[in-house]
Structure 1
Amino acid sequence: MKFILLSSVAVCSFTFGQYIPSRIVPAKDGLHAEFIRFEKERPVFQGSPVLFDEVSQKLSLANGRKMASEKDQLGYETHRFQQLINNIPVEYGMMAVQTLDGKIAGESGSWIIKVPKNLDKSAKISESIALQNALAFVGAESYKWQNKEEESFLKKESDNPQATFAPKGEIVYYSDPADENINNLKLAYKFDIYAEKPVSRQYVFVDARDGKVLGVDAIIHEANSPGTAVTAYSGTRSITADSYNGSYRLRETGRNGGTAVQTFNLQKGTNYSSAVDFTDADNSWNNVNSNKDQYATDAHWGAEMTVDYLYTKFGRKSIDNNHFAIKSYVHYSTNYFNAFWDGSRMTYGDGSSSTNGGKPLTALDVCGHEIAHGMTSKTANLAYQRESGALNEGFSDIFGNSIERWARPQQASWKLGEDFSYVIRDMANPNAYGQPDTYLGTYWKATTTSGCASPTQSNDYCGVHTNSGVLNFWYYLLVTGGSGTNDKSFAYNVTGIGLDKAAAIAYRTLTTYLSSSSTYQNARTYSLQAAADLYGAGSNEVTQVANAWNAVGVGGGTSAAGKTAVTDALLYTISPNPATDKFTVSFEGKAGSGSSGIGEPDR
């Protein structure tokens, strides 16, 4: 494969020398390798991603805007960059750079090398026209910025007198995240549109040339029917509240060294500005009443347990690793069977009398699920449609379930929704609730159709709540083990590695390696690397991660039941020969269900 470094790449005036990646996973034509790893000789981190040109065998600096960085418990730092072309950000163009002791250990993500010709550099239509088209596309009855009380609330909440819900157009280069070859990269306006009635929040991308809506990316990530937590659901639990004006309220300011956890009462309204505190006279919260206020302590305890789990297991200080305040709003609207993370806060409906007997959706695994969406937005930022959206939902299920098993193991199950009398998913048996347990298998929802990101959500963004079953079942098998034959007639046998190890691998995969447009294949590649980072390249943990992916049809064979499957490696080692200027390529991990290498299947 030949990479041509075009004008989008800021090639530095010096070279890094002959730093050759030890492992590479090539990308589609036109993109940089989606994964590279330096094992022995590592280039010094210069504050930007590096690009490897296989022709010149040299590295160069890429032109990117730094988004965030964080350090993990292994001493690695992950720096995330957004690609710039013509000094304009590329939506979904993200590279995660993993460094150790100031040197680059590896990179993962999606980065355009072959820039399409004749890209626009400036908009042909005005921002106001583009916004009109975006609003017509969303078609809401009312919007947050039209509500003066909500505008005042936002200014107060953010401590910024200039804050507003009113959308401001940002110029970006946009391509549908499913366009693997970036054939249709276009200059676009990006608007953050928060609708109040009916509620929705999404980025809307409008072609800056002709005003056509190109796509959307949902910011509100719904539970699609939630599940589990405190007083009402989890018995008597210890919570932390603060003393205020002679009573107590559901607010905590300094959990785990500085994270605020706050829970508010929307009083069956939809305006956050109208929310009030839940209060109690003696800090013994037994608020069982006709308003169902006892469910507020479920939300509060669930948020506390989520924050505690991330800190205890991974040393993470809230969702952004910097004490992001976790705010929960209970009693949203009436007869509302849902819960969602809107990019800034948690919101819980009180359930539906016809669906689940009107039980509020403040269950523990729902709390964990929704807050995990916030962590995803601060790390991998997985686009909410098709496979990346299914991964987004699946990782939220993974952490929602893991938090429940950690905080109240005596009540834990692999089902979601059992606490409020409406099971919606079963990670141990996805098929039971219309989800696939095999990639492209039974119940898989096609992701090739157009309109995957419709504001009506009628197609579930091409199956984000359906196709997540594959990741859920992978995780279940990784934790508990299991054997059987999948929908591709592949006989599998997985030995479970337990909850803590499986969760650590999932967490590292999400927060260190995945990026906006990642697919199931990427998740396999990166989880194998995450397992190797944590437990060693030849470890049983790496073997079982591969076995679990084979079991759910991401890689692995399609052999008849009972036959030995063969998994060909995609990760390969490059050994340069300075004398001949040629490379020797050797593949790893050719074994099947017992593979111990960090192997990947052919595409």
Structure 2
Amino acid sequence: MKKRFVTTTVATAAIAATALATIATSGAQAAPSTSGAGSDRATAAVAAARAHGSSFGLDGDQGLSSRSVATDKDGTTHVRFDRTFKGLPVVGGDLVVHTDAAGGWKGVNAASNSVRVGSTTPTVAAATAAATAARAVDYTVSTSKPTLAVYAMSTPARLVWKTQVDGVGAHGEPAGTAVFVDARSGAVVDQWATEINDAGTGNSLYLGTVTVQTTASAGQWQMIDATRGNARTEDGNNGSTSSTTGTLFTDADNVWGSGTTSNRQSAAVDADFGVGATWDFYKNTFGRNGIKNDGKGARSLVHVGTNWVNASWSDTCFCMRYGDGDGVSYGPLVSLDVAGHEMTHGVTSATAGLAYRRESGGLNESTSDVMGTMVEFTANTAGDPGDYLIGERFSLKTPQKPLRWMDKPSTDGASADCWSKTVGSLDVHYSSGVGNHAFYLLSEGSGAKSLNGYSYNSPTCNGSTVAGIGHDAAAAIWYRALTTYWTSSTNYAGARAGMLSAAKDLYGATSTQYAATAAAWSAVNVN
């Protein structure tokens, strides 16, 4: 049988964690402090800063408010402060104070050493500043709200009306700018965008018309999402399936694609939206800030290969690759669940590191199917509502022929519904059926049901009847097991044990969720 996969490549090199703050004299990695210890360290940093304030212009008219505290393994502490002058916030007055384990002074990084102004009394009225700021932007203004501040981004410091101007851009996207109006002369001192990218209109292949986050640059828009770690979407130009870079998509009017494959931007819209939906799922559901939890967005390459019925993730290039399909059975593989699937390979690599072989490899693939499915459910789009099928949207057959079915994985003719001693010898995309089946049963239960236009009829391998707990709870248990209990060699028995530990942590050992987790794994012969 011809295999139709969603594949992954995993780099063996370690990914270094990002330090919250470091200084040149310390090579130790910084880590967040606990709230109580952080408060004590901030207090010590304030005392140290006061004692050495002359070196960076800190005097009795200025106040410090801690924004964050990070501590290295050797006890070196880095406290980031915002500064005030006679009670007014100082724009460009922020600083980082570095102290040793005993609270002793190690140095400071200050954005500005000159924050003093001669007077904090404005001669320009707030209403005048609001009107001036509104005229300084090129979009429809809804609100223009001035507050007094000290502007210290350049010398000398000035008293300004820091005016937040919000409104709507030419394509209906939210727009915002901080405009700094000199509170004594009325001149515009500076301004910058607070909505750092634009909401473009995307005409996708599978989702209809959607909003995509893009970045304005040099009179055009780039498919770079600054709100999600500068994730990029590029044209692979039908080059090698191992390509690591492509041509960044750009557009003159921020309206992308036509909803058809004749426009190369259309597939890019789906991929870009899928990246955003996956980022939002992990961020909003688990508090995870990007694939590696480091705030970094990934690169997506669409139109990779020729008639390639596949998609892949690579840790090496931190990128996703999407084929165009064969044009007969499958179209471009840029659906929501595949985007979620591919990015989840990166999450798995950064957490459990499930080895891509035998049962751990099947569990790796299953994890990507599980979370890709959750991306569909949480995005809740009209064009692709949540379901337990993988890749159904790019099927060109009637009726649809997905890549995989989670309720009964063997429907594809090759995947395993139930665990057996030989399941580890299957290709990992087929051994993933055991985990997919367990997740479906835990979410929805056994037997027949309909959901969002699809009919399911999930059997059990032991003849039991399983009641589901809903996909949200099932995914929460799965994610905690992945990030807390599973390791690189976890097999399906270990997956069950880890999820029982996770269910106990989240809901208690006597909970319905705990019992359902045990029942779902037993129902696929994992005991």
Query: Would you say same fold, with TM above 0.5?
Result: yes
1:284 aligns with 2:248: no
Aligned equivalents of 2:501 and 2:218: distance in 1? 52
CA contact (8 A) 1:477 1:496 kept: yes
State the distance in 2 between where 1:513 and 1:67 align.
24
The residue correspondences of 1:87-486 to structure 2 (distance < 5 A) are 231-255=204-228, 259-270=229-240, 272=243, 275-287=246-258, 288=260, 290-343=262-315, 344-356=318-330, 359-408=331-380, 410=382, 411-421=385-395, 422-433=401-412, 434-440=414-420, 445=423, 447=425, 462-482=426-446, 486=460
Amino acid at match of 1:463: D
For residue 284 of structure 1, report the CA deviation from its aligned partner. 2.0
Consecutive unaligned residues of structure 2, counting only runs of 5 or more, are 1-27, 34-72, 74-201, 396-400, 448-457
Distance 2:405 2:491 in 1: 22
- Is the CA contact (8 Å cut-off) linking 1:70 and 1:321 kept in structure 2? no
Q: 1:502 to 1:70 in 2, by over 3 A?
A: farther
- Range that drifts further, 472-481 or 272-281: 272-281
* C-alpha deviation, 1:291, in angstroms: 4.6
Change (3 A) 1:554 1:68: farther
CA distance in 2, matches of 1:472, 1:68: 38
Quick one: distance in 2 between partners of 1:507 and 1:527? Answer: 9
For residues 337 and 233 of structure 2, the distance between their equivalents in structure 1, rounded to whole angstroms, comes to 17
Q: What corresponds to 1:504 in structure 2?
A: 476
Change (3 A) 1:365 1:70: farther
Give 3-state SS (helix, strand or coil) of 1:237's partner.
Answer: strand
Q: Deviations over 1:300-355 (max 9, x none)?
A: 00000000000000000011111132110111121111110011210111111344
By relative contact order (CA 8 Å, sep 6+), the higher-ranking structure is: 1
Q: CA deviation at 1:445?
A: 4.1
Aligned residues: 312
Distance change (3 Å), C-alpha of 1:232 and 1:389: same
Q: Which residue of 2 aligns with 1:83?
A: none
Distance in 2 of aligned mates of 1:234 and 1:388? 33
Q: Secondary structure in 2 aligned to 1:328?
A: strand
Residues in 1 aligned to 2:203 and 2:510: alpha-carbon distance in whole angstroms: 42
Amino acid at match of 1:548: A
Distance 1:550 1:294 in 2: 44
CA 1:367–1:485 in 2, change beyond 3 Å: closer, same or farther?
A: closer
> Which has the higher Rg, Structure 1 or Structure 2?
2
In the TM superposition, residue 446 of structure 1 has moved relative to its aligned partner by: 5.1
Inter-CA distance 537–297: structure 2 relative to 1 (3 Å threshold): same
Q: Could you say what secondary structure the match of 2:352 adopts? A: coil
Aligned counterparts of 2:388 and 2:30: Cα–Cα separation in 1: 33
Aligned to 1:142: none
Q: Partner letter of residue 254 of structure 2?
A: N
- 1:53-93 Cα distance to aligned partner (Å, 9 max, x none): xxxxxxxxxxxxx999999xxxxxxxxxxxxxxxxxxxxxx
Determine if contact 1:328/1:346 at 8 Å carries over to the other structure. Answer: yes
Aligned-partner SS, 1:413:
coil
Rounded to whole Å, the distance in 1 between the matches of 2:300 and 2:269 is 11
Q: Give the conservation status (yes or no) of the 8 Å contact 1:230–1:301.
A: no
Is the 1:340–1:347 contact (alpha carbons within 8 Å) kept by the matching residues of 2? yes
Deviations 1:119-160 (A, max 9, x none): xxxxxxxxxxxxxxxxxxxxxxxxxxxxxxxxxxxxxxxxxx
SS of aligned partner of 1:264: strand
Distance 2:360 2:31 in 1: 21
Q: What stretches of structure 1 of length at least 5 have no aligned partner?
A: 1-65, 72-101, 103-228, 448-461, 556-603
Structure 1 residue 378 displacement after superposition: 0.4
Contact 1:368 1:400 in 2 (8 A): yes
- Paired residue secondary structure (1:492): coil
Rounded to whole Å, the distance in 2 between the matches of 1:544 and 1:67 is 41
Distance 1:477 1:549 in 2: 9
SS at match of 1:233: coil
Q: Alpha-carbon deviation of 1:262?
A: 1.0
Query: What is the rounded CA distance, in whole Å, between the counterparts of 1:419 and 1:473 in structure 2?
Result: 20
Any residues of structure 2 matched to 1:517-556 within 5 Å, and which?
Answer: 517-555=489-527
TM-score normalised to structure 1 length: 0.49
Residue in 1 that maps onto 2:97: none
Quote the Cα distance in structure 1 between the aligned partners of 2:501 and 2:392: 35
Q: Is the 8 A contact 1:414 1:426 kept in 2?
A: yes
- Report how far residue 485 of structure 1 moved: 6.3
* 1:265–1:331 contact (8 Å) kept in structure 2: yes
Q: Which residue number in structure 1 is paired with residue 466 of structure 2? A: 494
Conserved in 2, the CA contact under 8 Å of 1:414 and 1:428?
Answer: yes
Query: CA–CA distance in 2 between the matches of 1:404 and 1:537?
Result: 30
Q: Secondary structure at the match of 1:517?
A: coil
* Other-structure match for 1:576: none
